[in-house]
Amino acid sequence: MLNAHSPDLAPPDFHLFGPLKRHLGGMAFETEDDLISELRNWFDKLDVDFFRVGINPLLSRWQKCIDLHGDYVEK
């Protein structure tokens, strides 16, 4: 059975959150709406290739995980 929480299947998390953390670093928001507005602006400015770079490697990692019957791809 495949482990849905396998660390091998989470690279988009790291691909997304690092740049987002750098973008938001040092900012302060007075309201939740201000934060949401900044997030929307940031996502709107991202090029579609940003998402491709984060998602495309998952295809081979998923296949490796399937081939290994859910065992970790990288040990």
pLDDT for 22-62, tens place per residue?
A: 999 999 999 999 999 999 999 999 999 998 888 887 788 77
Higher pLDDT, 72 or 21: 21
Global pTM reads 0.63
Contacts 24+ apart (CB under 8 A), 44-52: 50/19
| Dihedral sign from CA coordinates of 26, 29, 34, 35 | positive
In this structure, what token pair is assigned to residue 74?
Answer: 């990288």
> Taking residues 14-27, what's their average pLDDT?
90
Distance CA 46, CA 72 (A): 31
